[in-house]
Protein backbone atom coordinates (compact mmCIF):
# COMPACT_ATOMS: atom_id res chain seq x y z
CA UNK A 1 0.00 0.00 0.00
CA UNK A 2 1.58 3.31 -1.05
CA UNK A 3 2.08 5.97 1.60
CA UNK A 4 3.15 9.62 1.71
CA UNK A 5 4.12 11.84 4.63
CA UNK A 6 3.13 15.48 4.38
CA UNK A 7 3.32 18.60 6.54
CA UNK A 8 0.04 20.54 6.78
CA UNK A 9 0.22 23.95 5.11
CA UNK A 10 -3.20 25.45 5.93
CA UNK A 11 -3.11 28.31 8.41
CA UNK A 12 -5.83 26.74 10.58
CA UNK A 13 -4.84 23.13 9.97
CA UNK A 14 -7.58 20.74 8.86
CA UNK A 15 -10.55 22.50 10.41
CA UNK A 16 -13.81 23.57 8.72
CA UNK A 17 -13.16 24.73 5.14
CA UNK A 18 -9.77 22.99 4.61
CA UNK A 19 -11.17 19.71 5.97
CA UNK A 20 -14.18 19.89 3.65
CA UNK A 21 -12.01 20.63 0.59
CA UNK A 22 -9.63 17.79 1.47
CA UNK A 23 -12.35 15.21 2.19
CA UNK A 24 -14.23 16.08 -1.01
CA UNK A 25 -11.05 15.49 -3.00
CA UNK A 26 -10.40 12.21 -1.14
CA UNK A 27 -13.98 11.04 -1.79
CA UNK A 28 -13.56 11.73 -5.52
CA UNK A 29 -10.56 9.37 -5.74
CA UNK A 30 -10.98 5.82 -6.99
CA UNK A 31 -8.68 4.65 -4.19
CA UNK A 32 -9.58 4.06 -0.53
CA UNK A 33 -7.54 6.74 1.27
CA UNK A 34 -6.66 6.81 4.96
CA UNK A 35 -5.22 9.70 7.00
CA UNK A 36 -3.09 9.01 10.07
CA UNK A 37 -1.90 11.35 12.81
CA UNK A 38 -0.01 9.71 15.63
CA UNK A 39 -1.70 6.42 16.44
CA UNK A 40 -5.13 7.36 14.99
CA UNK A 41 -6.21 6.54 11.45
CA UNK A 42 -9.42 7.73 9.78
CA UNK A 43 -11.10 7.50 6.41
CA UNK A 44 -9.81 10.53 4.49
CA UNK A 45 -13.25 11.01 2.89
CA UNK A 46 -14.93 11.55 6.29
CA UNK A 47 -15.01 15.21 7.33
CA UNK A 48 -15.87 14.30 10.93
CA UNK A 49 -13.09 11.71 11.03
CA UNK A 50 -10.54 14.14 9.63
CA UNK A 51 -11.59 16.93 11.99
CA UNK A 52 -11.44 14.52 14.96
CA UNK A 53 -7.68 14.19 14.42
CA UNK A 54 -7.21 17.87 15.38
CA UNK A 55 -4.54 18.37 12.71
CA UNK A 56 -2.85 21.75 13.02
CA UNK A 57 -0.59 23.81 10.77
CA UNK A 58 2.86 22.24 10.60
CA UNK A 59 1.70 18.82 11.84
CA UNK A 60 3.01 15.84 9.91
CA UNK A 61 0.45 13.27 8.81
CA UNK A 62 0.60 10.03 6.85
CA UNK A 63 -1.62 9.36 3.85
CA UNK A 64 -2.08 5.81 2.58
CA UNK A 65 -4.17 4.52 -0.27
CA UNK A 66 -5.31 1.22 -1.69
CA UNK A 67 -7.00 0.59 -4.99
CA UNK A 68 -6.98 1.96 -8.53
CA UNK A 69 -4.76 5.00 -9.04
CA UNK A 70 -3.56 4.94 -5.42
CA UNK A 71 -0.28 6.69 -6.26
CA UNK A 72 -1.99 9.38 -8.34
CA UNK A 73 -4.56 9.96 -5.59
CA UNK A 74 -1.84 10.34 -2.98
CA UNK A 75 0.13 12.77 -5.14
CA UNK A 76 -2.97 14.95 -5.60
CA UNK A 77 -3.95 14.85 -1.92
CA UNK A 78 -0.41 15.57 -0.71
CA UNK A 79 -0.43 18.69 -2.88
CA UNK A 80 -3.68 19.82 -1.26
CA UNK A 81 -2.48 19.21 2.29
CA UNK A 82 0.83 20.99 1.70
CA UNK A 83 -0.92 24.08 0.34
CA UNK A 84 -2.79 26.73 2.30
CA UNK A 85 -6.41 25.69 1.83
CA UNK A 86 -7.42 28.70 3.94
CA UNK A 87 -6.19 31.12 1.28
CA UNK A 88 -8.85 32.88 -0.75
CA UNK A 89 -9.45 31.16 -4.10
CA UNK A 90 -7.92 32.89 -7.10
CA UNK A 91 -10.19 33.82 -9.96
Q: DSSP character for 62?
A: E
Q: Which of 2, 4, 12, 15 is catalytic?
A: 15
Sorted by sequence, the CB contacts under 8 Å of residue 70 that are 6+ apart come out as 1, 2, 31
15 is catalytic: yes
- CA–CA gap between residue 2 and residue 71 (Å, rounded): 6
Known catalytic residues are: 15
Amino acid sequence: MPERRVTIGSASGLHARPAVLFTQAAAACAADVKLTKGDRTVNAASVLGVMSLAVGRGDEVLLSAEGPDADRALDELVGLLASDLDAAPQG
